[in-house]
């Protein structure tokens, strides 16, 4: 079987994230089939992924839709076409597939929706929100099968008009391995966030919540780490100073996998105040390291964290409630230990091999239906 995949970003891209990791983990587990991936990468040093051929058609994802058009002939040669909708629907792979009667599957990680207004100028965000909604509506009308990573996104797709029978939920898996125990935890209360440092992540809410927590736990510290939008990082550093917590908060722009595991293992609480998630791999990794998660009850996160069992999910946007949930965990060791054990058990259910088997079954289902 020949599988053609269109992915706006390569796993090698400097801004590769959860969507690219998800796709790569699944594709590298598809054996005995020829896989060609059209993608973009801004890396000068390029490492060809194992198990599939990746063709870089552009330097960035914004040019990818235009340059990928020159490879339309590959759709005709493929047995099935898969579009990774990590940004916005391309539309043309679905249309061409329908015209030449080739099976098509879309993979969508989350619907951006109004979260775009947090990152982009109003006019640009408005245009993209409307485009995304209309494009996905078009996919639904044409009956395109979709793979998604959470029940929250499945529900959003159904609200747009997708038939439940056309949607398959295939969860993420875990690469991280933590062997931490309570003895591995920091001597002093440590609150951690690891992920993209962007406006829609609402890390200002974490700082405001931490300022409240510090009144009760003055020896607590907070670490925010990950790939950073420089403007957002500067704003967060200024906010920390205004709140008088700059000595207790540290920012780390780039950390290695080893450093990440170390932080997640030492942390007492992992906090994620994001606007929206497809499914938070970072929160799942924290739970794998035995660290309870505190966040807002938002789409994606409600699929990742078991509220009251592996952490707390509070009312969206209420950073004071966020602070109270953090304080409960910092001050109640027995509860924290119980949630830590629950978190490790919960995270152990997410395995790439299991997800890959479901992925292959889904491909076969739509290939031969």
Q: Classify the C-alpha dihedral 355-357-358-362 as positive or negative.
A: positive
- pLDDT beyond 90 at 51: no
C-alpha–C-alpha distance, residues 167 and 242, integer Å: 47
Residue 69's contacts (CB-CB under 8 Å, 6 or more residues apart) are 92
Model pLDDT for residues 197-227, shown as the tens digit of each residue: 999 999 999 999 999 999 999 999 999 999 8
pLDDT at 280: 87
What is the CA 200 to chain-centroid distance, rounded? 13
The torsion of the CA quartet 154, 159, 162, 168, rounded to 10 degrees, works out to 10
Give the separation between CA 173 and CA 246, rounded to whole angstroms: 35
CA–CA separation, 119 vs 110, rounded Å? Answer: 16
The pLDDT score that the predictor gives to residue 179 is 65
pLDDT value at position 235? 96
Query: What is the structure's pLDDT at 213?
Result: 97
* pLDDT tens readout for residues 222-262: 999 998 889 999 999 999 999 999 999 999 988 888 899 99
Answer yes or no: is pLDDT of 183 > 70.
Answer: no
The band of 15, judged by pLDDT with boundaries at 50, 70 and 90, is: confident
Q: What mean pLDDT comes out for the span 24-48?
A: 91
The share of the chain scoring above pLDDT 90, in percent, equals: 82
Please write the tens of the pLDDT for every residue from 259-274.
Answer: 999 999 999 999 999 9
CA 324/CA 146 separation, integer angstroms = 39
Please report the pLDDT score of residue 278 as a whole number: 83
| pLDDT per residue as tens digits for the range 93-151 | 999 999 999 999 999 999 998 888 888 899 999 999 999 999 999 999 999 999 999 99
pLDDT at 180 over 70: no
- At 182 the pLDDT is 62
pLDDT reading at 67 higher than 80 = yes
Spatial separation of the C-alpha atoms in residues 163 and 71, rounded to whole Å: 30
Query: What integer pLDDT is reported at residue 367 of this predicted model?
Result: 87
Q: Which has more pLDDT, 351 or 176?
A: 351
* pLDDT exceeds cutoff 80 at 177: no
Q: Say what the pLDDT of residue 117 is.
A: 87
275-318 pLDDT tens trace: 988 888 899 999 999 999 999 999 889 999 999 999 999 999 99
Q: Which domains occur in the chain, in start order?
A: 2-173+351-368 (3.40.50.2000), 182-347 (3.40.50.2000)
Mean pLDDT of 37-56: 90
pLDDT at 16: 87
> Taking all residues of the chain, what is their mean pLDDT, rounded to a whole number?
93
Helix axis angle for 333-347 and 319-331, nearest 10°, is 100
Share of the chain above pLDDT 70, in %: 99
Gap between the Cα atoms of 257 and 175, Å rounded? 10
């Amino acid at each position: 079987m020949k599988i053609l995949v269109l992915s706006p970003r390569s796993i090698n891209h400097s801004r590769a994230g959860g969507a690219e990791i998800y796709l790569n983990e699944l594709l590298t587990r598809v054996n005995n089939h020829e896989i060609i991936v059209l993608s973009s990468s801004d890396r000068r040093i390029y490492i060809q992924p194992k198990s599939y051929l990746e063709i870089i058609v552009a330097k960035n994802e914004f040019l990818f839709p235009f340059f990928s058009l020159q490879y339309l002939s590959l759709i005709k040669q493929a047995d099935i076409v898969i579009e990774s909708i990590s940004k916005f629907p391309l539309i043309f792979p679905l249309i061409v597939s329908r015209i030449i009667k080739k099976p098509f599957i879309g993979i969508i990680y989350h619907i951006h929706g109004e979260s775009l207004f947090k990152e982009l100028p109003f006019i640009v965000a408005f245009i993209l929100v409307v485009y995304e909604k209309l494009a996905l509506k078009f996919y639904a009308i044409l009956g395109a099968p979709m793979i998604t990573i959470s029940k929250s996104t499945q529900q959003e797709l159904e609200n747009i008009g997708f038939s439940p029978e056309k949607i398959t939920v295939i969860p993420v898996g875990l690469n991280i391995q933590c062997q931490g125990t309570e003895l591995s935890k920091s001597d002093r209360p440590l609150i951690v966030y690891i992920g993209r440092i962007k406006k829609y992540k609402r890390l200002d809410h974490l700082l405001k919540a931490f300022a409240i927590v510090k009144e009760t736990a003055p020896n607590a510290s907070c670490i925010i780490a990950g790939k950073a939008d420089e403007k957002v990082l500067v704003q967060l550093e200024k906010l920390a100073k205004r709140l008088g917590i700059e000595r207790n908060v540290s920012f780390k722009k780039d950390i290695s996998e080893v450093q990440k595991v170390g932080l997640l293992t030492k942390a007492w609480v992992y906090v994620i105040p994001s606007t929206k998630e497809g499914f938070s791999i970072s929160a799942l990794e924290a739970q794998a390291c035995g660290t309870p998660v505190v966040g807002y009850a938002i789409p994606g996160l409600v699929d990742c964290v078991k509220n009251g069992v592996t952490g707390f999910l509070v009312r969206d946007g209420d950073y004071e409630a966020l602070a109270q949930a953090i304080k409960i965990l910092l001050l109640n060791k027995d509860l924290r230990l119980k949630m830590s054990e629950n978190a490790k058990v919960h995270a152990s259910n997410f395995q790439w091999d299991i997800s890959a088997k479901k992925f292959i079954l889904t491909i076969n289902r739509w290939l031969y239906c």
